[in-house]
Amino acid sequence: MKNPAIFYGVIALGVIALAIGIYLMTSATPANPHHLTKYAALGVGVVLLIGGVVGMFMARPKAATR
């Protein structure tokens, strides 16, 4: 997977998941159906964000490695 657009998409999904998790943490109304939803959203957001950044740095073009 050498296409950087994939990693940008993963990072964007991570940021969206983090925003949802932060919203659920700060919302006063119990809008989420389960008490672990906010932590799951934060965890998924962090994993996607880290995976996207690490993937961008680990996937190098073929010309740069030779």
pLDDT tens sequence across 13-57: 999 999 988 888 887 666 656 778 888 989 999 999 999 989 888
Q: Between 60 and 23, whose confidence is greater?
A: 23
Q: What is the pLDDT of residue 37?
A: 81
Residue 47's domain comprises 4-60
Round to whole Å and give the CA distance between 22 and 13.
Answer: 14
8-state DSSP, 36:
T
Tally of structural domains, the chain: 1
pTM over cut 0.85: no
Q: Are 57 and 26 in contact (CB under 8 A)?
A: no
Q: Between 15 and 4, whose confidence is greater?
A: 15
**Is residue 59 scored above 80 in pLDDT?**
no
